[in-house]
Amino acid sequence: MEGYDKHAFEPFAVTVDLAVFTVRAGVLQALLIERGQEPYAGRWALPGGFVLPAESAETAARRELAEETGLSDVSGLYLEQLRTYSEPDRDPRMRVVSVAYTALLPDAPEPRGGGDAASARWLPYDGVGPLAFDHDRILADAHDRVGAKFEYTCLATGFCPPEFTLGELQQVYETVWGTALDRPNFRRKVLATSGFVEPVPGAARLTGGRGKPAALYRAGAATALHPPLLRPAPAPSQPSPSPSPSPSPSSAPSSSSEGRSS
């Protein structure tokens, strides 16, 4: 192109990173890979990698997910672009801009490390330690996005199997939001929201304990919730009790007394 000098700008790379969530036994879990190469060799990180010149960011995201975790052609995968991370010093190798994605899997198979990933594993979200690069921030942002979208979209059904009980759907909400919900109130709101779920005719499942089998539902045709299903507001914090007076030197335990455990 006349008048354009491609050498006038510093080159930089584009990568993709995936924050992939599932719910297992009532626990929100994130998919992580152990880096097999520097930088951050041996550290946990999100699956991802460099975008090739002839592919789109989404194509690269699906390819990297398959290469690094073995999860390819998985049914029910929900993939959505989260945001772009472009801080100049986010990668020690060079200037790297990352396009991050949020992904959900309702019935996640066991991953296996591949490519430049030494291993891959589902780990509880609440127990994830420091990650490589800025992946802590990406994972936290993805979790916030999923929790917020639960309020006004039907995204929660993406964590459920094709047929599910309302109790299982409620467990997904409670797991992602990190709070207990009132069962009758939740059931009433779900069934009153047009297109959120639809019953599976004649289908029911025993859910343990006594009582009749629970009716089964599937995701409805709606994509947005009207009205929204708002998460409960956090309980107001209680004032802290007044601190006890410090013991006087005469009442302090002597050196021969049993000390406090550390």
pLDDT 10s digits, 97-138: 999 999 998 878 899 999 999 999 999 999 998 999 999 999
pLDDT of residue 209: 62
Name the token pair of 51.
């975008």
pLDDT of residue 122: 97
Among 2-11, 71-80, 134-143, 202-211, name the most confident range: 134-143
> Which listed CATH number (3.30.930.10, 3.40.50.720, 3.90.79.10, 3.40.50.80) goes with 12-136?
3.90.79.10
Query: What is the rounded distance in angstroms from the CA atom of residue 188 to the CA atom of residue 237?
Result: 29
> Which listed CATH number (3.40.50.300, 1.10.10.60, 1.10.10.10, 1.10.150.130) goes with 152-219?
1.10.10.10
Q: Exposed, middle or buried, 261 (CB in 10 Å: 0-12/13-18/19+)? A: exposed
- The answer to whether 86 and 130 are in contact (CB under 8 A) is no
- The answer to whether 132 and 45 are in contact (CB under 8 A) is yes
Residue range(s) occupied by CATH 3.90.79.10 in the chain: 12-136
Average pLDDT value for the chain: 88
Phi, psi of 59, rounded to the nearest 5 degrees: -60, -40
pLDDT in tens, 23-77: 988 899 999 999 999 999 999 999 999 999 999 999 999 999 999 999 987 778 8
| Weakest mean pLDDT among 45-49, 162-166, 203-207 | 203-207
- The count of other CB atoms within 10 Å of the CB of residue 156 is 26
Residue range(s) occupied by CATH 1.10.10.10 in the chain: 152-219
pLDDT of residue 129: 87
- The answer to whether 175 and 23 are in contact (CB under 8 A) is yes
Query: What is the rounded distance in angstroms from the CA atom of residue 22 to the CA atom of residue 160?
Result: 9
* pLDDT above 60 (res 230): yes
Query: What is the rounded distance in angstroms from the CA atom of residue 181 to the CA atom of residue 141?
Result: 23
Estimate the crossing angle of helix 166-177 against helix 183-192, to 10 degrees. Answer: 110
3-state SS, residue 12: coil
pLDDT of residue 51: 98
Binned at pLDDT 50, 70 and 90, residue 21 comes out as: very high
What percent of the chain is predicted at pLDDT more than 90? Answer: 71
Q: Which residue has the higher pLDDT, 206 or 162?
A: 162
- The answer to whether 137 and 46 are in contact (CB under 8 A) is no
pLDDT of residue 152: 97
* pLDDT above 60 (res 260): no
Query: What is the rounded distance in angstroms from the CA atom of residue 96 to the CA atom of residue 85?
Result: 9
